[in-house]
Structure formats: structure tokens, C-alpha cells
Amino acid sequence: MSLLSPWALWFALSLPVVVGFYLLRRRRISRVVPSTVLWQRFLAENEANAPFQRLRRHALLILQLAILALVVIALARPFRTGNRLQGSLQVLILDASASMQAVDESPNRFEAARRQALAMVDALGPASEGQEMIALVAGAQAEVRQSATTDKALLRRAIESARVTDTPTRLEEALRVAATLVKDRPGAEVHLFSDGAVVDLAGIDTLDLPLVFHGVGRRNRNLGLVSAEMKSNPEDPTQRALFVRVANPTPEAAEVPLTVRFDDEVVASRQVRVGPTNGVAEVFVVDQVRDGVFTINLDQADDLAVDNTVSVVSRLPRPVRILLVTRGNRFLERALRSAAPRVEVTVAASVRAEGVEADIVVLDDVVPGNWPRANVLAIHAVRPEWSPGRVGSLEAPVIVDWKSTHPLLRFVGFDAVQVAQSLEMPTPSWAVSLVESSRSSLVWAGEVDGQRTIWIGFDLLQSTWPLRVGFPIFIANAIEWLDPDRIRAAAETGRTAAPVQWLWKGPGSVPTALVTVPDGGIESLVPSEGTREFVFPDTTRQGVYRVEQGTNRWSFAVNLLDARETDLTPKESLDRGRRAPVAATRIQPASLEGWRWFALAGFGILLTEWWWFHRRTA
Amino acid sequence: MSDLLQPELLRKLEQIQLLTARRARSSLRGERRSRVRGLSVEFADHRGYVVGDDLRHLDWNLLGRLDRLFLKLYEEDRELPIRIFLDASESMNFGTPSKFTLARQIAAAVGYIGLCGFDRVSVEVFPAATDPLGAAQRRALRLVRGKRSSLGFFQNLGAVVPGGRADLNTALRRGALEDHQTGVAVVLSDFLDASGFEPGLTALVARGFEVVALQILSPEERDPTQFGDLRLVDSETGQEVDVTFGRYRLKAYQEGLERHVARIREFCSARGIRFLSVRSDADLGTLLLKDLRAGAVWS
């Protein structure tokens, strides 16, 4: 405790003055009484009133001296060194990503960060100073838990109610929100409470963000599964190949056991050695005789448990049934037959082929009366609903660009491909153009109402494309992209925080879906009017989610699988691209004045004395 | 007849007789039964005849039956010494009406009852008067007999002016030693003497007096009305004490006063002293004819 105005202690000289007043005789009403015998016990503390007598215990004198002393101390402006925020607006961002579950802090990084955030709330100035604070939680989404307020109780409640998730960090979004909040607020600060396991912030280096990074985390002692994929054996449909990647971001080599379970039954186990700051990929070939869930466990007691388990939903593969409606195209038919290991191609002149249930319908220069409900590869055929009355013709269009990053155009090029004539129509809003001519799109792909469609605007036989090596590759990519089993398999094993969507394809009314989440809770999804699509957004917990809809029962799994979350190396700074890195910091110490408390205590004593005086003389 | 007591009250007092449990020990004749054998109508005992006895007192019935001479003895009625200790100190001069006014009226009533009963009445006024006239009047109160003396008795009593510092214990002890013949002692005081009251009352009881103690307190003493920071001056000693007194302490004061009275009552009860505490504004008729009768002071 120090004093900002020590000169005010001169006021303490008034203390002897008060004592002097007490030493002087007080004016009393003189009254003659028959006898003072009955008054002996009421003799007040007055015998000390005679001048310069020894001061005896006198409660009122003590109270007045105490008041005066407190006032003098308050005038001297005592202060202590504590935590105090300076800016007018503080934005707190609490990282709630999976890596914050690491237990190297007590009890974990998230709680440590929460403690720091709460300490900052405590350091917030009084409401009278107008210092405001905002609480954000950066998990799967950036969520404003508490808007700008001076109320510490609200801020504490908002921070205490935050929960850590199994999701990767989406810090950039939170920082963008914070940037809008502190815009045009001079003196504002953004405090990030995180372990720094985030993508680099180069994407927001254009933001002038007054960022303060409060790091948590003490060590890096963690191995994790960062990748998992399942492939079927083309030769044996009952076999599965599980590709797993184990990452070891620690500087020491480790040897850990990996266990593969199928519906809680151990089907494979292996000891894996992973080098320091390295990763190792493992392949497990396992038999599968029924649909089920594969679970890969890293049996290692490390600081982060959430990345030690991966679940994969697996169904038995079945052949892709393709209905090729064509007037005859051997290039296309051959490409289709060799597109996938197990395809069943039926060639027909019209869509109404008897007894054919197709997963994919290929329309080769044929426009059916009833457009099929299956996924469609439409070649030189236009559904009237796509662009009513606006289909034209392009003569010898020149291919100027194609979207090579799209899965459909993987390993596919359009160099030296000439097209004699093509249909011209605008790309639907739900589709993305893949191949562009100078005037319009020649190939596009998209999904609407649960149906995937690839459209090729030109007749293959009126182009040189079937002669190029990229054509069969494109057909293979197209079959893979249109295969409903693959689509469903992709939906059934996803990442945390990614919403899972599916389409109800059953007949009749759409039933409500009940989703059992990994921790046992049940959430219901009520279908919207006129739609058969369901979206389950709350996939912040890793594990297997079981869906019950009508008579259908199926599962999907979500996993963390994020190498940045697995790497628990404490970060000393945050990289912000072109801007200088943000170093980890602590709350700045400041001088906290305490004169109000002394003044308040003095006022309280004054009230006590007032009450006492009136009680004595009332 | 008197400013102290109304004639109607005097007439009623004439019907009253002081109650006493003891036989009169006075040497003078009166109307009180005594242990002395003498002339009266109350038979007391027999004794054998000796030569020289008055033959008029022979019991002729016994002579006839026993053929022996016996003399009949009768109780001798003697006077009852009534000694009144009247506190006339400055402290008694307080109150509305003053405590001394009531004390003097009670003294007059007691004295009048005694005079009507052919008892010897003696009023001991303390402290002693400083002026010669006052001293003479007080001396005249030391021995009064007979109803015919009541007028002078009242005049002398009415002339007493309170003042000075009293010493209750000294006055009572001296009174106990001075009287050769004990009787009834009536003590009229406020019993607010700093030196206490116990030695004086003890001396009277030890001397054989039948003591009646009447404490007189003014309304202002029972319910003080002056509050705040006070400087209290003792009327007798002149001692000054500073007191801070508020309404919240009134109850504590009254409790202290009650304890003081209870202490006197307990002391008196233990020694067979009849004690009564009265207010100076009490109605005199009610006090004399009802309260003191209920207190077995007189019948």
C-alpha cells in the first residue's frame, strides 16, 4: 500500500485538535438534585472533561478520531498494485477448441484460460468509469456470449457458462467479429485466451486489431490420430483397408499401441513407433461381414484424450448400377464399364427400361419425358426446368478455362480438346461451372433437392474429348462423385463442427428424426414444411451419432482429426502474417486506488456515531 | 386548628390508635398496657399478702375457699413513648409538593394520634437548627404530652424550616441512646444518605424500639424529566457530578431506584421494621387512613 498524495498526511495534525476539544470542558446544564446517590451509576465518561486530565476511554472520541484518520488516509489516496485494465472496451475471446482440453494445466487448459478471463473481468473498472467488456467464445463458431456491458456479474456468468468442444479452432472468425466490435473504439483491446493451436492468422493481417494474447499450456506431451480413411478392396468386397495416421509432435520418439475395433470387438492391434515431430501412416486390412462402426484407439495416456479415438462408419460395398440411355456411344460405354471396380452398366434406348433400378442415369443426347430421380450425367441434354426457353447453340466453342481443383476434374485436362457444337445455357444457381468457353459454360455440376447432376453441353461424338486420356478419368471421377453410396459414406464419417445433412427418400410424410449424441442425449429434428432435407448442426462432440427416423436407423461419426489441435506445443506468440507476431502476455499491473473504501468506512462510522449520540440523548 | 392537617382529618385521626406489639415500658402512667403491676381494671395475677398491703385488694373469694390471704394484682397502664425522627435536610426540600411537606404532615398525624392516646410524643428533627429560635422550637418538640398540647405541637412543627446536611445514621443512633424508655420510633426520610441508613436503623432496633420507616420520594426523583449532558449538584453536599442522561437510560435509572428501595425494604423486613415508600404527591388522607393502616402502623 502506497500513497499518491502523501502531503495530505499533514491533515493528520487535526487529530490532536480533536483531542484538544475533548480536553476542554464541555458546557453542561447545571441542575441541583436532592442527592447524587441514585446517579452514581450514570456518571458518564465525563470525568476526563476537566482540562488536561488524563484521557480515559471515550467511545465518541475514539469514533471521531477514527473518522478523521480515515478521511486523512482517503485524502492521501492510498493505492495498491493490482491488475487493472486501461482501455474503454475489452473484448475477451475464449478459445474452446479441442486442444484446450489438454490436462497439462490444472484441471485443463480451458479452465486455466477461463480463470485468466475471470481475473480480467475482476480487473474491470467500476461501472461509473464506463469501462465495457465483451465475452466471445471461439469454438466451432464464434459466439458472442455477452455483449458490451459494465456488469461484472453478467460477464462472469457468460464466461462460466462456456463449454469446451471437440472442434478445431475457428479463431479467424472470432477475430473478425472482434474487429468489428472494436472498430472506431479508441483504446479498445482484444484479449485472446488460447493455447495458440490455431491456423496462422495471416488471413486477417489486414485487420488493425489491438490483440493481446494470453497463452495457456505448459508442455507438449501428446500423440494423436490426425487422419483416418477407409477403402474397400476391389477384389474382395468383405475386406476393408483402414488408413490411419498417427502424429507425434513431441521432440521424443514414442511407441504406442493402436487398436481397431468393429462394433466394440477388437479386430486388429499393432504397436506403432513414431519418430519425434513426425507422423506415421498405418494400414489395417480387416474383414467386414456387416455394416458397422470401426473405432481406432490410440492406447496412450497423454495430455489430450480427444484425439486418441477415431470412429468410421462402414457399410458393405455394393456395385454401382448405371443406366446408360443412348443411341449408341462406344467410347462412353467402355469408359463407364471401366470407371469403377464393380459397376453394372445397363444400356437402354430410353429411361423406361423394364426392371432397372439405377444409382446413376447417364443421358447421352437423350431427353426423357420423365426426368429420372437418380443422380444424372446429362450429355447434350437439357432438363427444361433448368433454363426454360433460354437454350441456344454455340458453334465451335473454344475452351478457355476449366476448374482443375474440383474433384471431378482431378487429373483431367482440356488441352487440345475441340468441340464442334455445344448447347448454350446459363449455369443454374445451384451448380458450379467446370469448363468454360468464351461465351458460356460447357460443363457444370451441382446438387439440387438431393439429386446430383453433371451436365456436358456438347455431344461427345462431336468433339475430340473421347480420344483424350482425360476422358475415362473424368468418367471415373463422375461415377465416384455421383455414386450415392460414396456420398452417403462421406456424410457418415465427418469432422467435428461440420453439419451433417441427409435427405429423406422414403415415401409419404417426412418423420421426425431423433439423434442420439455421443454423451447419450437425444435431440429431435422436426422436418420443415415442404422439404425432405435434414441438417444436424451440433456436431461439436466427437463420436458416433445414431439417427432414428421412421423405420430407418443409421449412424454417422464425427472426428477431430486435426494435426494442429494434436500439437500441444505451448505458443509464445501468434503469427499474424505481415504484421508483427503477438507475444503471449499477462494482465498488466496497475495502481488501484482505494480511497473510496476509506471514505466509505469513515462515512459508516459517522453514521454509527450519529446513531449513538441520538440514542444517548434522545 | 392546624395548617398541617385538616380538621376533618384530625377528627378521623382521633379514632386511630398506634399499634404496638410490645408492652409500654414508660414509668409514667398512660393508657397503654405495661408489664408493671398497678391500678387498673385489668386483672394480672395473685400474690401472697404481706403486712402493710392494702386490704382493699384482698381476694375475698380465695380467702373463703382456701382460708388464706391473697392479694389481687392489676396491670398498670403506662404511656407509650412515640419518637418521630423527621429528616429536615435540604434534600427533603425538593419535589412538588416537597418531600418535607408530606413528612411533616405525617409527623403531625403520628404525633396527634399519640397525643390523643395519652402517649408521650417526641419529634427529633435533624439536622439541628442553626438559629436560636429554630433550636428552641425544636427543643419544644422533644417532649409533648396530652391532647391539649397538640396546638403547640403543630405550631412548633410547622415552624421547622428544612435545610442543611443531614446524617441519618448519626441522628438515629443518638436518638436510640438518648431515650431511656423505648417505644415506637417513626423515621421519616428519603433515605438518600450517601453514608447509608443501616447503622441508624440497627441502633434503634437494638435499643428495643418498634421502628416504622417511611421513605418519601418526590415524583421528579422517580421520573426524571431533565435529559442531556447535565451537571448535577448535590443539594446537601454541593458535590458536582457530570452525567449524560437520555431517555433510553430512564428505565435503567428507575430500575436502579427500585433496587435501592428494595434493598431498604429487605433490610427492614429482616429486622421487623415496618417500611413504606411513598411519593410526596400522595394523597395524605389515603396515606394515613388506608396505606398506613394497611401497613399495620395503626388501627
Written as one string, the DSSP assignment of A306-361 is GGGEEEEEE----PEEEEEEES--HHHHHHHHTSSSSEEEEEESSS--TT---SEE
For A224-306, CATH number out of 3.60.20.10, 3.40.50.720, 2.60.40.10, 3.10.350.10 equals 2.60.40.10
The larger pLDDT score, comparing residue B19 to residue B236, is at B236
Cβ of A29 within 8 Å of Cβ of B226? The answer is yes
Measured CA distances, A607 to A63, A69, A600 (Å): 10, 16, 11
B138 with B188, same domain?
yes
Helix/strand/coil for A616: helix
Is the dihedral angle over the CA atoms A511, A512, A516, A522 positive or is it negative? negative
Closest CA to A309 of A506, A616, A101, A528: A101
From B209's Cα to the closest Cα of chain A, the distance in A is 28
DSSP string, A17-49: HHHHHHHSPPP-EEEEES-SGGGGGGB-TTGGG
Contact of A36 with chain B, judged by CB distance below 8 Å, is answered with yes
* Residue B100 is assigned to a structural domain of this protein: yes
Give the residue on B whose Cα is nearest the Cα of A29. B230
Contact of B262 with chain A, judged by CB distance below 8 Å, is answered with no
Mutation to test the A interface, candidates B195, B197, B223, B229, most A Cβ within 10 Å:
B229
Count of C-beta atoms within a 10 Å radius of residue A279: 18
Predicted ipTM?
0.75
B176 with B273, same domain?
yes
* Residue B71 is assigned to a structural domain of this protein: yes
Closest CA to A339 of A483, A491, A484, A489: A483
Cβ of B256 within 8 Å of Cβ of A29? The answer is no
The residue type at B253: Y
Contacts of B123 (CB under 8 A, 6+ apart): B83, B84, B86, B107, B111, B138, B141, B142, B144, B157
Residues of A in contact with B232 (CB under 8 A): 31-33, 36, 39
B64 with B18, same domain?
no
B57 with B181, same domain?
no
Whole-angstrom distance, CA of residue B128 vs CA of residue B89: 9
B19 with B166, same domain?
yes
* Residue B72 is assigned to a structural domain of this protein: yes
Contact of B92 with chain A, judged by CB distance below 8 Å, is answered with yes
Whole-angstrom distance, CA of residue A127 vs CA of residue A88: 11
Residues of A in contact with B234 (CB under 8 A): 33, 35-36
Residue B226, domain CATH: 3.40.50
Rg (CA), chain B: 23
Whole-angstrom distance, CA of residue A151 vs CA of residue A154: 6
* Residue B92 is assigned to a structural domain of this protein: yes
B29: pLDDT strictly greater than 50? yes
B55 with B119, same domain?
no
The percent of residues in chain A predicted with pLDDT above 90, rounded, is 28
Kindly state the average pLDDT of the residues A2-26: 77
Boundaries of CATH 3.40.50.880 in chain A?
Answer: 320-486
* Residue B2 is assigned to a structural domain of this protein: no
Q: How confident is the model at residue A431 (pLDDT cuts 50, 70, 90)?
A: very high
Q: Mind listing the pLDDT tens digit for each residue in A577-599?
A: 666 666 655 455 556 667 778 88
Number of H helices, E strands in chain A: 10, 35
**What is the model's pLDDT at position A46?**
46
The fold of the A85-218+570-587 domain, in CATH, is Rossmann fold (3.40.50)
Boundaries of CATH 2.60.40.10 in chain A?
Answer: 224-306, 491-559
Cis (ω within 30 of 0) for the bond into A107? yes
Residues of B in contact with A27 (CB under 8 A): 229
Measured CA distances, B90 to A384, B100, B223 (Å): 131, 9, 20
Contact of B218 with chain A, judged by CB distance below 8 Å, is answered with yes
**Which helix or strand (DSSP H or E) is residue A193 part of?**
strand A189-194
In degrees and rounded to multiples of 5, residue A257 shows phi and psi of -85, 140
Count of C-beta atoms within a 10 Å radius of residue B98: 18
Q: How confident is the model at residue A49 (pLDDT cuts 50, 70, 90)?
A: very low
Contact of B29 with chain A, judged by CB distance below 8 Å, is answered with no
Whole-angstrom distance, CA of residue B2 vs CA of residue A326: 155
**What is the model's pLDDT at position B37?**
54
Closest CA to A131 of A115, A150, A113: A150
Whole-angstrom distance, CA of residue B36 vs CA of residue B23: 9
Cβ of B234 within 8 Å of Cβ of A33? The answer is yes
The fold of the A491-559 domain, in CATH, is Immunoglobulin-like (2.60.40)
What is chain B's length? Answer: 299
B102 with B64, same domain?
no
Kindly state the average pLDDT of the residues A267-284: 90
Cβ of B241 within 8 Å of Cβ of A39? The answer is yes
Beta-strand ranges (E) seen in chain B are 29-48, 70-78, 81-87, 120-126, 184-189, 210-217, 228-234, 240-245, 274-279
**What is the model's pLDDT at position A391?**
83
Whole-angstrom distance, CA of residue A366 vs CA of residue A459: 11
Contact B283/B291 with Cβ under 8 angstroms?
Answer: no
Name the residue among A28, A36, A47 with its Cβ closest to that of B239. A36
Given phi > 0 = left and psi -120 to 50 = alpha, else beta, which region is A277?
left
Contact A92/A117 with Cβ under 8 angstroms?
Answer: yes
Whole-angstrom distance, CA of residue A431 vs CA of residue A319: 27
Cβ of A34 within 8 Å of Cβ of B192? The answer is yes
Kindly state the average pLDDT of the residues A377-389: 85
Contact of B239 with chain A, judged by CB distance below 8 Å, is answered with yes
DSSP string, A356-399: ---SEEEEES---SS--SSEEEEES---TTTSTT--EEEESPPE
Residues of A in contact with B98 (CB under 8 A): none
The residue type at A467: L
Mutation to test the A interface, candidates B98, B100, B232, B254, most A Cβ within 10 Å:
B232
Helix, strand, coil percentages, rounded to 5, for chain A: 25, 35, 40
Measured CA distances, B210 to A2, A81, B114, B178 (Å): 80, 85, 14, 16
Give the residue on A whose Cα is nearest the Cα of B224. A33
In degrees and rounded to multiples of 5, residue A523 shows phi and psi of -120, 140
B249: pLDDT strictly greater than 80? no
A52: pLDDT strictly greater than 80? no
Helix/strand/coil for B82: strand
Domain count, chain B: 2
Superfamily of segment(s) A320-486 = Class I glutamine amidotransferase (GATase) domain (3.40.50.880)
Contact A554/A492 with Cβ under 8 angstroms?
Answer: yes
**What is the model's pLDDT at position A369?**
83
Count of C-beta atoms within a 10 Å radius of residue A490: 9
Measured CA distances, A505 to A361, A489, A550, A552 (Å): 17, 16, 11, 11
From A44's Cα to the closest Cα of chain B, the distance in A is 5
Name the residue among A35, A41, A616 with its Cβ closest to that of B256. A41
Helix/strand/coil for B141: coil
Residues of B in contact with A33 (CB under 8 A): 94, 232-235
Cβ of B235 within 8 Å of Cβ of A39? The answer is no
B105 with B34, same domain?
no
From A59's Cα to the closest Cα of chain B, the distance in A is 13
Q: Which A-chain residues 49-108 have CB contacts (< 8 A) with chain B?
A: 49
The residue type at B43: F
Among A45-54, A216-225, A236-245, B69-78, the range of highest mean pLDDT: A216-225
Closest CA to A472 of A323, A321, A337, A322: A337
Burial annotation A60-90 (CB, 10 A radius, 16+ → b, else e): ebebbbbbbbbbbbbbbbbbeeeebbebbbb
Q: Mind listing the pLDDT tens digit for each residue in A329-357?
A: 899 999 999 887 788 899 988 877 655 67
Q: How confident is the model at residue A612 (pLDDT cuts 50, 70, 90)?
A: confident
Lowest mean pLDDT among A72-76, A231-235, B66-70, B173-177: A231-235
**What is the model's pLDDT at position A157?**
93
From B230's Cα to the closest Cα of chain A, the distance in A is 5
Measured CA distances, A336 to A444, A480, A618, B209 (Å): 19, 11, 108, 146
* Residue B299 is assigned to a structural domain of this protein: no
Contacts of A315 (CB under 8 A, 6+ apart): A291, A485, A488, A489, A492
B116 with B45, same domain?
no
Among A33-37, B50-54, B155-159, the range of highest mean pLDDT: B155-159
- Residue B214 is part of which domain span? 7-23+87-294
3-state SS of A223-288 is CEEEEEEEEECCCCCCEEEEEEEEEECCCCCEEEEEEEEECCEEEEEEEEEECCCEEEEEEEEEEC
Whole-angstrom distance, CA of residue A424 vs CA of residue A441: 7
**What is the model's pLDDT at position A48?**
44
The residue type at A132: E
* Residue B250 is assigned to a structural domain of this protein: yes
B91 with B125, same domain?
yes
A457: pLDDT strictly greater than 90? yes
Q: Mind listing the pLDDT tens digit for each residue in A491-534?
A: 788 888 888 888 787 777 888 899 999 988 999 888 887 777 88
Boundaries of CATH 3.40.50.410 in chain A?
Answer: 85-218+570-587
Residues of B in contact with A618 (CB under 8 A): 246-248
Cβ of B242 within 8 Å of Cβ of A617? The answer is no
Residues of A in contact with B236 (CB under 8 A): 34-35
Residues of A in contact with B237 (CB under 8 A): 36
Cβ of A618 within 8 Å of Cβ of B246? The answer is yes
Mutation to test the B interface, candidates A24, A27, A29, A37, most B Cβ within 10 Å:
A37
Residue for cell digits 495458440? A196
* Residue B118 is assigned to a structural domain of this protein: yes
Contact A134/A147 with Cβ under 8 angstroms?
Answer: yes
